[in-house]
Amino acid sequence: MAEYFVARGLPVPAELSQNPLTHWRRLIVIALSLGVVYIGLRITKIDLSSANPEYAAGVIGQLFHWDFSILTPRDEFETFWDTAEGQMIVTIFLGIIATVFAIIVALPLSFLGARNIMTGNVLTGGIYVVVRLVFTIIRSIDVLIVVIIFGVLLGIGSAAGVLALAFHNVGVLGKLYSEAIEGIDPGPLEAITATGANRVQVIWTAVLPQIVNPYISFTIYRLDTNVRLAPILGLVGGGGIGILLFQSVNLLQYGAAGLIIFMIVVTVALMDFASAQIRRRLV
Amino acid sequence: MAAVLAIQDLVKVYPSGTRAVNGVSLEIQRGEFVVLIGLSGSGKSSLLRCINRLVEPTSGRVVFDGADVTRASRAELRRIRRRIGMVFQQFNLVRRGSVLSNTLAGRLGYRPAWRTILGRPLREDVAAAFENLGRVGIADKAFARADALSGGQQQRVGIARALMQHPDLMLADEPVASLDPATSHSVMKYLEEINKKDGITVICSLHFLSLARRYGTRVIALKAGAVAFDGRPDAIDERRFKEIYGEDAVEVEIGPERSQPQPMSATEAALAALASDPDLGGIADR
Ligand SMILES: Nc1ncnc2c1ncn2[C@@H]1O[C@H](COP(=O)(O)OP(=O)(O)OP(=O)(O)O)[C@@H](O)[C@H]1O
Ligand SMILES: [Mg+2]
């Protein structure tokens, strides 16, 4: 390759003669990565010696000996809603309600968190920064941690689960919505502003038509995610089928646990399929 | 006659440090068709946007019909803006909206926000929208989606939208730069018509001197944000041209109005002929 430059009497670029893999910066990165893995293995004490293969095999076997008695009420005090399938439906609705709550808060806030709408004066610019910071902070707290906190604050149960999930989603949807607004074509905004329209009219006429589809798409994506997350909420006190799963594992009822896991898998797969179908039709 | 627009020592410095407009002073009389020319980056768009404060001027004054635009409060500014129409190179229509709703948007400055939110335009506004769409020859497209239209048609919607404002002044930022020569002429002719028939003052930036000569009553050339020439279009000779565009520039002709150098298909020839006819121009780029 260097001949090209030599033949024309040009200086040979240094980049040509360097092997990028042996460049000192890369060597440092490789050494650091290996160091991290080594230290990680040392301090986390990953130890499989206490695992019992025979016992594990037994449990796995039991997980497939499904206990169908959880599909019917156990006594005269239980109703359909106490059965596993009843709780599965409740769980789906926990995810849906949490999404709805999150939309109600995130939708108006997202306008305050969009730079292209909020620039112009110091006050709105400040609001923009604060709103986006709040979104980021909320999003950075894992939803399971939020459920645990809300469980302490509100008592274990559906309220904690739904509100925690909603809270987390305000951060996620708020950011997605705001970014959808920031991604719009600024041309119509400029043109509508130039007609003498006020801010509300500009948003209504030039912004809304451009964000309807991304908003629907993001909302369905989060609905899908939330319905998948909902069964897990019960494991940390958020209500729904997760509580049943948690109980049956604690009581060593692996047949029931296996069936519940299967039901969750089927539900999630169906949600996945439905959400992909709807979103594909949107775009 | 009083100037419809007076610009005094206008300066625009962007936060990046670029001096896009560097001390421009101009007086523009009612009824003029001013063509703004200059190299890319010479500040044409910035100057036009300072006039209605889509871009906030750094210093200087803009006075529109006796009202100080630069000092206007937000409410006053909106009242001024609604009398200044603007059309854009990229048309800037709401793409998913209908042609009619895009046209109606030109009335927003005159109507309360609740009417916008309820989506109930006044009957008289709808009638005016059809009338203005008719003027630019696309009334039959009123219910089509804006992005289903050709570029020339979209720009005509842009003109109809601006006409809805009953403007005294029309700003046009390279309105034909995204269009082919024949369509360019058809759009320019509408600007010419509203200038001549309605007496609306036009300030239009253009890239081609041939178009400037054909449509302008006055040409203002910008160079590095300052006025390098201001006078009659026919006063721009070879020497002035090189002053404005640099020593290496050669003047090119944008496609002629009636015939094109390359052989044309029958339809193209018909379109070009229609485009040059102001009465039939409406169907030129269908
Ligand atoms: N929003 C902005 N922020 C920073 N600099 C800008 C901005 N808009 C324009 N400029 C700069 O200001 C100068 C003038 O730009 P302007 O768009 O007004 O020129 P123009 O004559 O319209 O050019 P063109 O013919 O390419 O449209 C350029 O150097 C440009 O880079
Ligand atoms: Mg420009």
Q: What separation in Å is there between the alpha carbon of B45 and the centre of ligand 2?
A: 4
pTM, whole model, 2 decimals? Answer: 0.78
Minimal C-alpha gap between B79 and chain A (Å): 6
Nearest CA to ligand 1 atom 22: B45
**Residue of B54, B82, B103, B116 to mutate for A, most A C-beta atoms under 10 A:** B116
Rounded to the nearest angstrom, the distance between the alpha carbon of B50 and the centre of ligand 1 is: 12
Ligand nearest to the backbone CA of B221: 1
Assign B28 to helix, strand or coil: strand
Contact A190 B88 (CB under 8 A): yes
Q: Which residue has the higher pLDDT, B222 or A5?
A: B222
Which position has the token pair 């008289």?
Answer: B124
Token pair listed for A272: 């996945």
B-chain CB neighbours of A190 within 8 Å are: 54, 88, 92
Closest C-alpha residue for ligand 1 atom 7: B14
Structure-model confidence comparison of residues A8 and A282, the more confident one = A8
Q: How far is CA B44 from CA A27, A177, A257, A279, B148, in A?
A: 52, 35, 71, 43, 30
Mutate-to-test residue for ligand 1 from B42, B55, B88, B245, highest number of ligand atoms within 8 A of CB = B42
SS3 for chain A is CHHHHHHCCCCCCHHHHCCHHHCHHHHHHHHHHHHHHHHHHHHHCCCCCCCCHHHHHHHHHHHCCCCHHHHCCCCCCCCHHHCHHHHHHHHHHHHHHHHHHHHHHHHHHHHHCCHHHHCCCHHHHHHHHHHHHHHHHHHHCCHHHHHHHHHHHHCCCHHHHHHHHHHHHHHHHHHHHHHHHHCCCHHHHHHHHHCCCCHHHHHHHHHHHHHHHHHHHHHHHHHHHHHHHHHHHHHHCCCCHHHHHHHHHHCCCHHHHHHHHHHHHHHHHHHHHHHHHHHHHHC
**CATH-assigned architecture of domain B32-40+88-273:** 3-Layer(aba) Sandwich (3.40)
Mean pLDDT, to the nearest integer, of B71-82?
Answer: 95
Residue B89, ligand 1, Cβ within 6 A: no
Most confident of A188-197, A270-279, B277-286: A188-197
- A contact residues 254-283, partner B, Cβ 8 Å cutoff: none
Contact, A171 vs A138, CB < 8 A?
Answer: yes
Residues B134-169 have pLDDT tens digits of 999 999 999 999 999 999 999 999 999 999 999 999
In the predicted structure, residue A97 carries a pLDDT above the cut 90: yes
Supply the pLDDT for residue A280: 84
Listed by start position, the domains of chain A span 2-44, 68-282
Q: Is the pLDDT of residue B264 over 50?
A: no
Min distance A183 CA to chain B CA atoms (Å): 14
* pLDDT for the residue B281: 37
CA separation for the pair A31, B234 (Å, rounded): 72
Return the residue of A nearest to B172 by Cα: A191
| Section A267-278 average pLDDT | 88
Nearest CB to A191; choose among B86, B110, B164: B86
Ligand 1 and B186: CB distance under 6 A: no
B270: pLDDT confidence band, cut at 50, 70 and 90?
very low
Question: Rounded to whole angstroms, how far apart are CA atoms A203 and A199?
Answer: 6
Does position B258 have pLDDT exceeding 90, yes or no?
no
The answer, yes or no, to whether residue B224 has pLDDT greater than 90, is yes
Looking at the CA of B37, which ligand is closest? 1
**What is the per-residue pLDDT for A21?**
66
Please indicate whether residue B14, judged by its CB atom, sits closer than 6 Å to ligand 1.
yes
Mean pLDDT of B224-251: 84
Looking at residue A158, its pLDDT comes to 87
Is A204 in CB contact (< 8 Å) with chain B?
Answer: yes
Query: Is residue B253 scored above 90 in pLDDT?
Result: no
pLDDT of residue B280: 41
A198 inside 8 A of chain B by CB: yes
B contact set with A (CB within 8 A): 52, 54, 78-86, 88, 90-97, 105-110, 113, 116-117, 158, 161-162, 164-165, 171
ipTM of the complex model: 0.85
B234: helix, coil or strand?
A: helix
Provide CATH code, domain A68-282: 1.10.3720.10
Between A186 and B244, the higher pLDDT residue: A186
User: Which residues on chain B are in Cβ contact (under 8 Å) with A203?
Assistant: none
**Ligand 1 contact, B56 CB (< 6 A):** no
Give the mean model confidence (pLDDT) for residues A115-119. 86
| pLDDT tops 50 at residue B265 | no
Q: How confident is the model at residue B267 (pLDDT cuts 50, 70, 90)?
A: very low
Please report the pLDDT score of residue A33 as a whole number: 95
Residues of chain B above pLDDT 70, percent? 87
Q: What are the two backbone dihedrals, phi and then psi, of residue A46, each rounded to the nearest 5 degrees?
A: -70, 120
B108 vs A188, A190, A197: nearest CB: A197
Q: Mean pLDDT lowest for which of A199-203, A243-247, B27-31, B255-259?
A: B255-259
What pLDDT, on the 0 to 100 scale, is given for residue B156?
96
Report the distance separating Cα B244 and Cα B230, nearest Å. Answer: 11
pLDDT at B283 over 80: no
pLDDT tens digits, A198-239: 989 999 999 999 999 899 989 998 998 998 888 888 887 778
Average pLDDT of the residues in B260-270: 45
Residue A143: pLDDT above 70?
A: yes
Interchain CB distance below 8 Å, B78 and A198? yes
Asked if A196 lies within 8 A of B95 by C-beta distance, the reply is no
* Sign of the CA dihedral with B145 first, then B147, B151, and B154 last: positive
For residue B275, is pLDDT > 70?
A: no
B78 → closest Cβ in A187, A196, A210:
A196
Does A196 contact B90 at a Cβ distance shorter than 8 Å? no
Is the distance from the beta carbon of residue B45 to the nearest atom of ligand 1 less than 6 Å?
A: yes
Q: Is the pLDDT of residue A103 over 50?
A: yes
On chain A, the residues whose CB falls within 8 A of the CB of B164 are 195
With a cut of 90, say whether residue B63 has pLDDT above it: yes
How do B169-173 and B59-64 pair as beta strands?
Answer: unpaired
**pLDDT for the residue B68:** 96
Q: What tens digit of pLDDT does each residue of A31-67 get?
A: 999 999 999 999 998 888 888 889 899 989 999 989 8
pLDDT at A1: 66
pLDDT surpasses 80 at B70: yes
